[in-house]
Amino acid sequence: MNEEVKKYLDSGLAESYVLGLATPEERLLAESLVARYPEFKNEIETIEITLEELSLENSIPPPKHLKSQILNSIFNKAEVKDTIIDKPQAKIVSLNSVSLDKNHRNYQYLIAACFTLLVLSFSFNIYLTKELNQVKASLNDLRSSRDDFASALNIQQASYRQVQLAITDISKVEIHKIILAGNDRLPGVKTAVFWDSTSHAVYLNTSSIPDLQKGKQYQLWALKDGKPADAGVFDATPGVANLIRLKDIDGAQAFAVTVEPAGGLPSPTMETLCLIGNI
């Protein structure tokens, strides 16, 4: 991914743009990135779709009884007012006094209605803030999953290229394939060493070899002129096709594998010999 696009994605510019929280300068920048980079445009579309889905899934309609409660409250107060006005009054008051009293009661109803709307608005804002935080968390999880997938894909591609190169090398006519068979320590286990007698390259298939305990590694040895020569240490990859290259050997009559401390030893521990094969 383009480093510039990644920088702006990590800054939260895309979320601010979609949610309408961006400044005019940020909106211009976001629109410029949408026009220039498909990755940024895809991120904008992903956020919009996610917001729409979350809105549909989590939408909460106002309680059905809320409207009727507000209207009943207002009408009840109005009925009380009418009752008071309709009753015969022995006291004679001026028209100005009646008008002022009526306006005072109207202001009381208006203040009550405004207070009710204020409470509803405050509750709705709290709900929206909670939903916004959930959306941001979902977007962060989505971005994290996408990055993890990209990293795993890069590792797989690198491993695939490495195996391709190794297969190309072992396809040469100079390659000797030596089958290593397990003894009592690894009964029934078989693997193969591929040795190029011209370039001296050595490859080993580790997919059929079992794991070792922590702090231990396998070590490959080449028997050369009756003496063992270190060909390198390696770890097992059970069930995963893996052809690794070890140290070059310029001459060998046989190959063998022992179990050694991590990092290997200068000479083999014969008590841990587990695989052997002759050329």
Where exactly are the structural domains of the chain? 3-58, 64-167, 175-278
Amino acid at site 56:
L
Task: For residues 241 and 207, give the distance between their C-alpha atoms in angstroms, rounded to a whole number.
Answer: 5
Q: Answer whether residue 246 shows pLDDT above 90.
A: yes
Task: For residues 13 and 17, give the distance between their C-alpha atoms in angstroms, rounded to a whole number.
Answer: 6
Count other Cβ atoms within 10 Å, centred on residue 120.
13
Which is more confidently placed, 216 or 251?
216
pLDDT digits (tens, 9 = 90+) for 166-215: 566 555 657 889 999 999 999 999 999 999 888 899 999 998 999 999 99
Which is more confidently placed, 269 or 20?
269
What average pLDDT does the structure give for the chain?
Answer: 78
Q: What are phi and psi of 5, to 5 degrees?
A: -65, -45
Q: Answer whether residue 80 shows pLDDT above 60.
A: no
- Asked if 190 and 204 touch (Cβ cutoff 8 Å), the reply is no
Q: What are phi and psi of 123, to 5 degrees?
A: -65, -40
